Structure 1
Amino acid sequence: MPVKPPRGGGTHVDVPGSSNRSVEVDTSLPGPSGRRGVDSGITLDNPHSRAGATDIDVIHPAPAVVVQTIPAETRLPASQPSLDHYVVNARAILPEINSEGLRVFNKRTYADVAGGDLVLVAVDPQTGLHRARRTSELLLGPVMLRDADSGIWYQREVVEPATRAQIKQYFPDSTDQHADDFIARFSDKDVADVELKRIQLGLPQLGSEHVSIPNHQNHVPESHEISEAFGMWTRLRQLYKWQGEPDQRVYNDGRLSGFKLDINLTLWPVDKLLSLKFNSVVSLTLRGHAPLNPEVFFAQFPNIESLTVTSQLITRRSFGASIYERAYSRFNMDSRFTEQLVKLPRLRELSLQDCDLQDDFSLRGMTRLQVLRLGRIQAARLSYYPDDLRAQLFLQHPSVVLLTDPDISGMTELRVLDLTGAGIHRIPIGLDADSGPSSLEILRLGDNALSVAPSLKAMTALQELDLSNMGLDRFPEGITNEIPGKVLNLANNRITSVPESVELRRGFNLIGNPITDPASLRRLIRARIKTDSDIWLGAESNDLSANLWLQHVPAGEMPKKLELWDSVGHLSSRLRKLSRTPEFHVEYPLLQRRVWWFLEVYVKADASEKARMTDILINEPSPGKMLDRLEAAIREYDAGRQNQPQHHLPKRPRLD
């Protein structure tokens, strides 16, 4: 007859330290009450369980616990699984309890629970709390807490809120505001306790006796830099404890998410702080250069959401001689550094200003970016271009060397792209595609040697567009009554006319373009009246003499006008600004009469009226509005004034 299998699913387990004979071990799961027969799917000799064993650090948690402030004694939902589903009985083969009250065997961690049972646990990477788990599942189960007196672990039944008293128990110097800032981020009492204990353990490394001032780039710190280094350590200590100043706070959707930190890398101790994590820092600015190990450095700032890299002014002192040199320390970004940027899970904003990039610099993989700024970047690519192009670029942008064309393909979440003065010579890859960043709200490409503008047809969310100082000879495609929504800056290009299809509105800037088309200039006059701002101003005349306003004046009137001009010569530089207005080009006779009428009134005015008019001449920044304001002030000062121009002013242009 066939042999019946043993009841209860028993198997044979070799126990270390025992004799060679087999020992029958009942691995059916007991509950806390001691009953057997509950199937957990876990046996130490089960090949399926062993094959499924993974490093607990990479387990992805299920959202079993929501970390938020809730009233004390709030019960967890009744659907929470019982520990009956997680307990095992394998105490005989496990090592002794470690300092954390846990047993570790074969890269698995076990917690002792009531009744002499064990529960396999893993650390929740989101909260730092231990949670029960089963090898047959990747999901994490109930939160487990340890009783300090008995050392026994138990399932958490109540989520209690963090309190000020809890924070001040660890750090008595905390203010109520510091405690509230901490609670805003860690509202769960148990989660807060994990973070507080971590901080308390690492805080001694930030004592004043450990302040280290390195010597990077043959740079001997000056006295003010030594003070800055001590101040930086003080800020590090404060932020390590989540005790930032009000101007360091960073908010996300109205809630405090962390703090800002500014680091002068020329004073940064690269061989220190290797084991500390500044979890409160979400916005980081790096100034200057230091020989950083990017893997180690970013491990210290795991929650970075915004990163800015820029230069730092330093003083170099030659050894053995009193020779000082002021120079800029510029960060040298290599491929190892950019590889770490891609791995930062929370990074949404990247700003690289005035730093050095290697030829292999790439933005590929940074698909989660929402804000990207690159400006005054230098890279070793200048030798690849002809002499005439290099000379042109240096002439236009003397501090800029060409940057490898940035590739923003796949950055579907991009909201802000600022490449002002980045030295690019082509439209960024992926920007002009039909599948480009349709959510882009701000695009700045000014101060680059581009002759072609990107199409705006796919940028339906665009609010601000800056294409100034680029050498464009026409408007970009895709401009409508709604795109861009607020700002269009095309200043200092080569545009000579405004397309009839483009509605001129507030927020447009065409100043510095050689617009000569009379129809466009008349539209610009109407647009200034409608928007109360100068959309276009041309180049200013160099003529400070009366000749600027004497065209076609009859010879018989010349002596009188020259005498009048000589009496108000101190106003010539202010009146010359009118040569920039559209009226100077298409309504010169009318503008000429208005200027001479103003001068005639000015010389006859009393001291009080002259003071009012002089104030307008000096302080009104808009040439077009200046003359309008002067005429309005004259009439307001003397409503009955009959001293009108020789030829009455024609009707002002209608606002269509």
Structure 2
Amino acid sequence: MSSPPIRANRRTDSNDPDAIIPAPNVTVHAAASALQTMVNTGHPVEHYRLAVATGLPDADAEGLRTFKGRHYVEMADGGFVQVSKDSPSSLWRAGLASESKPSGPLMLHDPESGRWHALEFSPPSTFALSVTRLQAFRTPLDFSHSSRDSDGLYRHDGKLYAVIDNQSYQVLHDHDASTPLAEVMRIVRPEDPVAADVDNIYSATRPGRSEPVVFDADQGWQGIVVGGAGGMQRGSADQPASPGLRERLNAAVNRLRTPQSRLRKLYPSLDSEQIRTLLRTQGDDVPSFLTRLENEYKTLKLELATWLKTSELAGGATNPSVERAAQEIKRCWKRQTGTTLQLDLGDAGIVPLSADFSHVRTLHLQAVAWSEGGENFLGGFTALERLKINASALARPPANLAQMPALKELDLRANHIELSDQTASELASLSQLEKLDLSDNPLGKAPDFSGMLELKSVVLRNAQLDDWPTGLQHQLAMESLDLRNNRLREIPQTVISPASDQLLAIANINRITLIEGNPFASGYWRRLEIYWQRVTAEYPALDHQRTHRCIPD
């Protein structure tokens, strides 16, 4: 978000002679939204109940009973209402036989019971907030030189803030208490555990005081009574709504929200301009685009919950490494980690995820108990430019590297990789690579570098190499070659006694090659010294660049 910088940690009391006058409380006047018009009806569902419902046929697969071209549905208590399709929401709405356009509440079908429930909302109960009530929640941040976003909130260091009566307060989204008519936020104390959520989502299970608030177009920020989920009727004790209906209810609520609101809930770190830009790129496909994202995130959360369950420690304790990784994966999906994802699994396994992480450019995995699940996990990262998998007991390079055409840097340090002819050939085919690190692996052999002409850095330190790597003479862009601590006993004649037309090219590689820690024979250095004397005789400028590289201890 491009705005003047936030003057954080500036107190605004009278003792500060340089205090900046805080921004006034923002009041936005707006007409009733299409959402409010859609869900607010003149009468409750009881007004539309049929007095007599005999002779209706059985319900079809959608739960509709069609008689003489009209549609009827059975409610949870056994009563019936007539319904018609509501054009704005594409949902069914209760109506009277005398109406050409239905005027009743929206209706939702519960596929588990076959019954229908009215989507009714009661007006939220709000009250004015007093200075005394909010005293304990104040923060010292001064937002007087920063612009609020379109949702009335300020963003600073990944946190959300509301300004009320010239004071700033940290707030969290309370999705459980929110309805389409009331987007409930929770004012929290920054020092409490509840305030630390990386997604800025309120959780009642985390310790800490809070105050539920909503933003009113006319009154500004108001306190709200949140018992019963903010007034939404989601079932009663004698007629509870099933989990299936609750999901349909949530889906219906999403369809009633604005596209901007739905996308901001998924990507809370994006500012208004980023939200608008992303929606514009979808053209006429915005509704289905948002539905796909919502379903994808829902599935991701279920997959991560299953992973947490299957990774539990002895006694049913949650694995802290897996828990941290699951949170970081959700933050990454929500675009809160930029284009980078770093996970340290503490030697736990990782599972495949169906979500799309094609926005990620850098992936760093540390201490993963590698298995087929790890291979499948990589399948969601199709646009990687940098991949690091360190200390993860890999026995071979990942099989799907060829499906990462943008990959420039590959770091597989400290694994158990032994290269076969096939896996060495697979690495050699990654012609776009610029950096390759296979150090601290029992490779046994190196890939042929002949076709990898973009290479700038190759690290093969401590890789149990007996033979000098091939294809290096073709590397014109090479800046560093590390062959230290291997089992090399000699250097090929093509390297230390090349033909005259190859002398300069080979010298440019040799001067950036490290070979310390190899078991060269005593006196082998003399052959290298003769080689460098030849090079400097023909190319004197290279003498000062050699700096003891490609010279054994």
TM superposition score normalised by structure 2: 0.41
Say which one has the larger Rg: 1
> What is the TM-score normalised by the length of structure 1?
0.35
RCO greater where, 1 or 2, for CA within 8 Å and sep 6 or more? 2
